[in-house]
Amino acid sequence: MSDVTPLDTVGEFGLIRRIQQTITLRQPSTKLGIGDDAAILTPLAGHDMVISTDMLVEGVHFDLTFCPLKHLGYKAVAVNVSDMAAMNAIPTQIVVALSIGARFSVEAVEELYEGMRLACEAYDVDLVGGDTTGSRGGLTISITALGQVAAGKAVRRGGAGPNDLLCVTGDLGGAYLGLQVLEREKQAWQADPETQPELGKYPYVLQRQLRPEARMDVIHELREIGVVPTSMIDISDGLASEVLHLCQASGTGARVFSENLPIANPTLEVAEEFNLDPIMCMLNGGEDYELLFTVPLAAHQLIKNHPDITIIGHMVEKSEGTNLITKSGQPVPLRAQGFNHF
């Protein structure tokens, strides 16, 4: 590191001034950004707003041993934008609260903000407010995102009906296997700090874990082809858990065909190397931040050839349960195995 400035030499106000200089505002609804007691927004007429909050805690959600701060900043924004996508909304603003231990330098915090700035640019979001404070422990990042959606057009979890097609964007299991790679290399490094971590072999799964993208692209594409999901959720805890959420909220069951689950080749290779069942990685892995949604059967023609959307099954009556249908046609009840943070 060439420059290392202790945080206490610039103080909270100094840090805010340094960060403020790097911020560009893009959204017409942003009237006043950082610098007052609150930001001022002018909501777009005829639109609803959506709001959600996510907290990332060092030692629970990330490990700075192998997670570059710039990626972490990007991911912290992306996971919040993913919640906006899951409502069929366009993200507009975020506010960021950080608590930072004294071991961090000003440059480290700026690196984190640089990642957030890149994500704000990628998703066309304004960073309009924040709170930066010390911490007796590690780093905690709390982001609240706002988004807008035409009045009444937000998509909830509870709108699916029997026969609706169950769809997923992108591919699954990559983020989980990226985490397995990082944990193996960390253990090897802890056992022998001279070891060079073998991370270059796994670019795909590591990117899935360290720098996931929110699927705003698919939200825009669905609008273009005129398909409105009947229910939607983003995949943060694992596909099985999210399918159960949709079914519970919609009062339906579902059939998910294991043969249809999308996995990328690099993910499959890492699963084999780690001797892990790829289906289990996809069902319970989590953190892929893909979208899981349902569409009316009539939309089949419109989405069946979409390169980023896979039809993995369909909704059924509640009484039929929520099942994974194996290759041999056997139904196996889906169970949520998302991890417990406590």
Distance CA 73, CA 119 (A): 8
Contact 292, 302 (CB under 8 A): no
Q: What is the DSSP letter of 109?
A: H
Among 5, 135, 207, 337, binds a second copy (CB under 8 A): 135
Any contact of residue 53 with a second copy (CB under 8 A)? yes
For residues 300-329, b (16+ Cβ closer than 10 Å) or e, as one string? eeebeebebbbbbbbbbeeeeebbbbeeee
Q: Which of 25, 122, 138, 263 binds a second copy (CB under 8 A)?
A: 138
Reported as half-sphere exposure (CB side, CA atoms, 13 A), residue 230 has a value of 23
Does 48 count as an annotated binding residue?
A: no
Stretch of 113-121, 187-195, 226-234, 269-277 contacting a second copy, by CB under 8 A: 226-234
Closest CA to 232 of 289, 157, 160: 157
Q: Which of 16, 23, 25, 49 binds a second copy (CB under 8 A)?
A: 49
Answer yes or no whether residue 134 interacts with a second copy by CB under 8 A.
yes
| Residue 302 in tokens | 């419109």
Binding flag, residue 147, a second copy (CB under 8 A): yes
Cα dihedral 69, 99, 216, 325 in deg (nearest 10): 90
Work out how close the CB of 272 gets to a second copy at its nearest, in angstroms, rounded to a whole number: 32
Instruction: Order the strands of the 322-325 sheet from edge to edge.
Output: 231-234, 291-295, 165-169, 309-317, 252-257, 322-325, 331-333
Using CB under 8 A, which of 156, 223, 306, 318 touches a second copy? 156
Q: Determine the interface stretch with a second copy among 30-38, 205-213, 267-275, 317-325 (rule: CB under 8 A).
A: 30-38
HEC string for 249-310: HHCEEEEEEHHHCCCCHHHHHHHHHCCCCHHHHHHHCCCCCCEEEEECHHHHHHHCCCCCEE
206 binds a second copy (CB under 8 A): no
By the rule CB under 8 A, 98 interacts with a second copy? yes
317 in contact with a second copy (CB under 8 A): no
φ/ψ of 113, rounded to 5, equals: -65, -30
Q: How many CA atoms lie within 13 A of 300 on its CB side?
A: 8
Task: Tell the smallest beta-carbon distance from residue 139 to a second copy (Å).
Answer: 11
- Interface residue with a second copy, options 129, 174, 266, 285 (CB under 8 A): 129
- Counting contacts by CB under 8 A, is residue 146 touching a second copy? yes
Residue 26 or 300: the one with the smaller Cβ distance to a second copy is 26
Pairing of strands 126-135, 90-101: parallel
Site string for a second copy, 101-120 (x = CB under 8 A): -x------------------
Q: Is 37 annotated as a binding residue?
A: yes
Assess 167 for contact with a second copy (CB under 8 A): no
> Which range, of 5-13, 111-119, 196-204, 305-313, touches a second copy by CB under 8 A?
5-13
Interaction of residue 341 with a second copy, rule CB under 8 A: yes
Q: Note whether 83 binds a second copy by CB under 8 A.
A: yes
Q: Is the dihedral of CA 66, 71, 77, 79 positive or negative?
A: negative
Q: 190: which 2 tokens?
A: 């802890």
Which helix (DSSP H) or strand (DSSP E) does residue 148 occupy?
Answer: strand 140-150
63 neighbors 179 (Cβ within 8 angstroms): no
The reply, when asked if residue 131 is annotated as ligand binding, is yes
Binding residue positions for substrate:
61, 287, 339
Binding residue positions for ATP:
113, 130-131, 157, 236
Please report, as ranges, the residues that interact with a second copy according to CB under 8 A. 7-8, 11-12, 31-32, 35-43, 45, 48-55, 57-61, 83-84, 86-87, 89, 93, 95-100, 102, 128-131, 133-138, 140, 142, 144-147, 151, 154, 156-158, 232-234, 249, 340-342
